[in-house]
Amino acid sequence: MARGEHSFFVPAFSLVLTLALSVAPLGVVAPFRPDFVAVVLLFWSLTAPRRFSLLTAFWIGIVLDTLTGSLLGQHPLALLVIVYLAERFHLRIRVFPASQLAIVVLLLLGLYEFILFWIDGVADRTVPLIERWAPPLTGTLLWLVMFTFFDAGRREARARF
């Protein structure tokens, strides 16, 4: 892990880009927008645990709340829950093959979406339930792509040296 600053700036940059992506106008495909922030945080907490602490998840969530104008505390709570679960169990999860990892990610993203929906309901905000199925699925696909491109390569590199 002695790669120094480089190994911090890449994930930090990915988070800023992620925040921008999560509010970028997508037009017709907007309902299928994956929860970019959740996917990226999950990716990092599964591949490089403890690089982002829970505190990072909290602050990113606050920024996301401000950006999207949702209830302050809604996104941080959902992010905290999934990042905590991922970090807590990453040693057990990490030995799975990619397909089973994807199922875990799908479950975690579903949980994330459910928490957001639940809080909306408690806060009396009218939100459709039917349109919420897509983001966890597209999010898992995005995670799979990220995993195959970045992490599999890294595993190989580590195996060679």
- List residues binding another protein (CB under 8 A): 1, 16, 19-20, 23-26, 30-31, 33, 49-50, 53-55, 58, 61-63, 66-74, 76-77, 80-81, 84, 87-88, 90-91, 119-120, 123, 125-128, 131-132
Q: What angle do CA 80, 84, 88 make, to 5 degrees?
A: 180
| Residues in CB range of 150: below 8 A, 6 or more apart | 43, 47
Rounded to a whole number of angstroms, the minimum distance from the CB of residue 73 to another protein is 3
Q: Which is nearer to another protein, 91 or 95 (CB)?
A: 91
Return left, alpha or beta for 43; rule: phi > 0 is left, psi -120 to 50 is alpha, else beta.
alpha
Q: Which is nearer to another protein, 30 or 103 (CB)?
A: 30
Contact 143, 102 (CB under 8 A): yes
Beta strands in 48-136 (DSSP E): none
CA atoms within 13 A on the CB side of 104: 20
Rounded to a whole number of angstroms, the minimum distance from the CB of residue 6 to another protein is 18
Q: Which is nearer to another protein, 99 or 125 (CB)?
A: 125
Q: Which is nearer to another protein, 10 or 67 (CB)?
A: 67
Rounded to a whole number of angstroms, the minimum distance from the CB of residue 160 to another protein is 17
